[in-house]
Structure formats: structure tokens, C-alpha cells
Structure 1
């Protein structure tokens, strides 16, 4: 084997190893992104649910009948 072939083989091995390393890193990042996406979807659902609860509580607090009942209770 002459030196030129040896250099070419070493370069090919180095480039191939770099490509494989990047491929495996990309696969790992995709799995992490999928898990993160599930968390984002779950958190958005929680936020929507909490917004609905706050809306209901705001309705209860600003309800005129509740205010009237509170005024009657204060008079008693």
C-alpha cells in the first residue's frame, strides 16, 4: 500500500466517523424534541384548563346575585 492510498483511507475513515457521529447526535436530539413536544402539548392543555377555571371564578365573583346575597348577609 503506497502512502497516497493510506492518506485517502485515513481521510475517508475520519469523514465517515464524523458523519456517523452527527447522525447519532441528530437522532438523539429528535427523541428529546419529541419528548419536549409532548410536554409542551400537556402544558398548553393545563393552561387552557386553568384559564377556563379563572373565567368561571371571575363570573362567580362578579355575579350580581352573589353581591346581593353578600349585602343581605351584612345587614343581618
Structure 2
């Protein structure tokens, strides 16, 4: 085996090893996040904030519609 082939082989092995290690590390962290109580608390808080945002958006749209109606009533006078 010539030196060039050995270098290519070593680089290939190290690259494949890095990819495999990164893949398993990512899977492990995803599993830890699923069981983490802090992550669950943050998910619940985000859900609550999204619900509040939806309510605020609805209120804003209702106010805009009400203001539009009042302007039209004033124009009709």
C-alpha cells in the first residue's frame, strides 16, 4: 500500500467516525430534551404565550373593525 492510499484511508476513516459520532450525539441530546422537565416547562410557557398572542391579535382586529364602523357612522352624519 503506497503512502497516498494510506493517507486517503485515514482521512476517510476519521471523517466517517466524526459523522457517526455527531449523529449519535444529536440523537442523544434529542432524547434528553424530551425527558428534561425544564424543556417541558418551556414548551408549556411557549404554548401559553402563543394563546395570549392569539387573543391579543383578535382584540386588535376587533378594535380596528370597531374604529372603522365609528368612522363610517361619522361620515354618514
* TM bucket, shorter chain: 0.5 to 0.7
Normalised to the residue count of structure 1, the TM-score between the two structures is: 0.53
1:5 counterpart residue number: 39
Normalised to the residue count of structure 2, the TM-score between the two structures is: 0.52
Q: Does 1:26 align with 2:60?
A: yes
- Matched residue count: 43
Larger radius of gyration: 1
Please list every run of 5 or more consecutive structure 1 residues that lacks an aligned counterpart in the other structure. 44-76
Q: Does 1:35 align with 2:69?
A: yes
Structure 1 residue 24, shift from structure 2 partner: 0.7
Please report the RMSD computed on the Cα atoms of aligned residues, expressed in angstroms: 0.8
1:63 counterpart residue number: none
